[in-house]
Amino acid sequence: MSEAPQPGPAGPLAGLRALELGSFIAASFAARLFAEFGGEVIKVERFRGGDELRQWRLMHGTTSLLWRTQARNKKSVTVDLQTDEGRDLVLDLVRHTDVVFENFSPGVLERLGLGFDQLKQVNPRVVLVRISGYGQSGPNADRPGFGSVAEAFGGMRYVTGYPDLPPVRMSVSIGDALAGLFGLLGALMALLDARRTEDEGGTPQGQEIDVALYEAVFATLESLVPDYEGYGFVRERTGNALPGVAASNTYRCADDAWVVVGANADRPFHRLMRAIGRPDLAEDPDLSHNPGRIRRREEIDALVAAWASARPMAEAMQALVEAGVPAGPVYSAEDIAADPHYRARGMLEPHTVDLGDGDGPRTISFPGVVPKMSSTPGGVRWLGPELGEHTDEVLGGLLGLDEARRRELREQCVI
C-alpha cells in the first residue's frame, strides 16, 4: 500500500487538471512533473493489470518502487477505453480537463474515438500532448518506437561508448524522460498562450502538441549534424572524453574509485595543472586556449590519470575542490543515499511504504522535486497509488456518478 496523502505546498499549477492516458514512461514522466507542482493528474489505467510500469523492476510484492516514484501525486482510475461507455467516461473527464497526456501509437486515440477533434468538441480549450516514437506524421509515423529505439534513431547511441566496443545505452530511459520534459514544456506554453489570448479579449483555443521521442533525443545532441555538414566531421564514440575539449574525462584513483574532471575551460584548466604539480603547463602559451589543448589531449589526459592513480579518491577530490577545479566522484546508489549534500537539498525524501516482502512498512528515500522554486515549490503529497484507488472519488465527485451507476459500470467491466 502507498502512504496516506501528506499536506504540501499548493504549487504553481494548482487549479489545473491533467488526464494521463497511455502507459510506461514518456507521457507518465510529463504528468508526474505536472502533479509535483500542484496540478491534479487523473491517470486512466487498464481495467486489468493497470500500467505495466507497476511490474517493472519489481523485486517484492505487487507494485514496484519505480511505479511509486513515477506515479506520485496522481489519482488512479480504471476505465476500459475499448468500450463505448469507457470512451464516454473519458470524454466526460476531458470536459473538466486542461491537458491530456498520451503516448499511444499514432492513430490509436482516433480509433478509440478520442482523437483531438473529438476532444475539442467537448472542450475547445483542451491541450493534447502526444508523445510517440516518430511523431504523428512522416514516413516512419506508423512504426513502433520505444525510448531505446529513439535513442538509436536520434543519434545518441552512435556517440555513446568506446570506439572499439558496440554502442551502449544509458542505464535509464533517457529518451522517454527527454520527451516527457519537452511534452510538459509544450503543454505549459500552450496554456500560457491561451491565457494571453484571453487577457487580450480573444477566445482561447486548445492545441495539439506533437513530441517525437527521437526528436527529443536529437534536440540535445548539440552541433552533431552542423559539424558534419559544415566540417565533414562525424562524431564517433570517444568513451568518457568529451570530443573537442580538454581536459574532460573520468580518472581511476588509487582505491579503484573514479573521479570526473571537467577542466575544459581556460581558467579551470590552469588551476588543474597547478593542482597536479604542473604549473609549467598552466603557463604554457600553447595550452592557454582549447584548440592548443586538443592537439595535446592525450598528453594532458595521461598526466591527470597518473596523478589521480597515485592517491585515493577522497584525497584527489579534496585537492581538486581546494584548487577550484570542477570535479566530482562517480557515485553509486549507496553513495548517493549517504551523501549529506543530497539530504541538505531535499533530494532524498523519506516516505513510508510497504514493499510486500512480509516485513511491513518501512521508510524509503525517494527522489526530491526539481526544480526548486522560492515562492511556489513543488512537493510530493503521496506515492504512486494502488490500481483504481481513486475511481470512486473521481467518477463520483467530479462526474457525479452515484453509487448505483458505478456499481453497474463495474458489473459491465467498464471500470
Q: Which residues are catalytically annotated? A: 176
Taking CA atoms, 355 is separated from 74, 244, 348, in Å, by 19, 47, 18
The answer to whether 364 and 2 are in contact (CB under 8 A) is: no
Q: What is the DSSP letter of 297?
A: H
Phi, psi (rounded to 5 degrees) for 203: -105, 110
Taking CA atoms, 202 is separated from 123, 195, 242, in Å, by 16, 9, 49
Measure the CA–CA gap between 76 and 355, rounded to whole angstroms.
19
Measure the CA–CA gap between 401 and 393, rounded to whole angstroms.
10
**102 pairs with which residues across the strands?**
130
Return the amino acid letter for 303: L
Measure the CA–CA gap between 362 and 280, rounded to whole angstroms.
56
Measure the CA–CA gap between 29 and 43, rounded to whole angstroms.
12
**214 pairs with which residues across the strands?**
none
Instruction: Order across the sheet with 74-78: list the strands.
Output: 74-78, 40-45, 17-20, 99-102, 127-132, 208-212
The answer to whether 167 and 158 are in contact (CB under 8 A) is: yes
> Cα 215 from chain centroid?
15
Measure the CA–CA gap between 90 and 409, rounded to whole angstroms.
14
Strands 40-45 and 17-20, bridge-based pairing: parallel
Return the amino acid letter for 53: L
Measure the CA–CA gap between 284 and 271, rounded to whole angstroms.
13
Residue whose C-alpha cell reads 493489470 in the numeric block: 49
Cell of 165: 566496443
Q: How many residues in the chain?
A: 415
Residue whose C-alpha cell reads 503543454 in the numeric block: 187
The answer to whether 222 and 155 are in contact (CB under 8 A) is: no
